Amino acid sequence: MKNKRTSKETVSHPTLPQAVREKFSTLQQKLDVQFHDENLLYNAFTHSSYVNEHRRKKFSDNERLEFLGDAVLELGVSKFLFRTEPAKSEGELTKLRAAIVCEPSLVKFSNELNFGDYILLGKGEELTGGRMRPALLADVFEAYIGALYLDQGMEVVEEFLKRIVFPKISIGAFSHVTDYKSRLQELVQQKNNGPLQYEVIEEKGPAHAKKFVTVVNLNEQPLGKGIGKSKKEAEQEAARRAIEHLLMQTTEGEN
């Protein structure tokens, strides 16, 4: 394996307890990936809440690595789909890629690797269940990809994806990509309930890792709320939750 890092890419991560370092050593053995610069690995798993509680030690959180990992992951998945799905159109490839790199999928990958066990959290975030928070787990997976890219380059990242992500594509785990907005529109039209309106009600996080909060309204009444890394992703999640709400109402009405 070629080491792609430079001195500018090294992130200082001072004085982690020995027990924590040993835990990350176990993780590397488990993943069969040994980092040349282990500070990058530690950085990938450091949440901002941990940084806030250790200001004197100048720790860095994983948000910049998450930003990089998001782009690297999208490139790796795009290359794989381009090679293996020659019959799919650009639109179909885009939709499939979106399903692979969306938050719920990243959470699944992260959980399968037990990444939540390794996240460095502040005490407050720990007490409020941050270790199992979907957005946090998705961010850590992307940050790990970013760290691996800086440490060893795209070839090693793709080798990792071949083991963790690509097999799921090959067996069709993402083949039934649901357009929840279209499905919700069909449900509403069946009942002649009126027009749907999607509205971004909040934008959270720094510019390089922004999250959008969107609500879908029917006759000015909220049906569902969703969070996503893009407005489209947030709208799809809002529509999915709205569908669950409508189906629950239907079931209750029949009982």
Known catalytic residues? 70, 142
Residue 7: closest CA among 40, 51, 48, 42:
40
For residue 7, the 8-state DSSP code is G
State both tokens at 67: 């930003």
Residue 214: closest CA among 203, 204, 199, 229:
199
Compute how many other C-beta atoms are within 10 angstroms of the C-beta atom of residue 231: 13
Helix spans in the chain (H): 18-31, 38-44, 48-52, 63-84, 90-101, 103-112, 123-127, 134-152, 154-164, 166-170, 180-190, 231-254
Compute how many other C-beta atoms are within 10 angstroms of the C-beta atom of residue 241: 19
Q: Which secondary-structure segment (H or E) carries 222? A: strand 221-228
Rounded to an integer, what distance in angstroms lies between the CA atom of residue 43 and that of residue 34?
Answer: 15
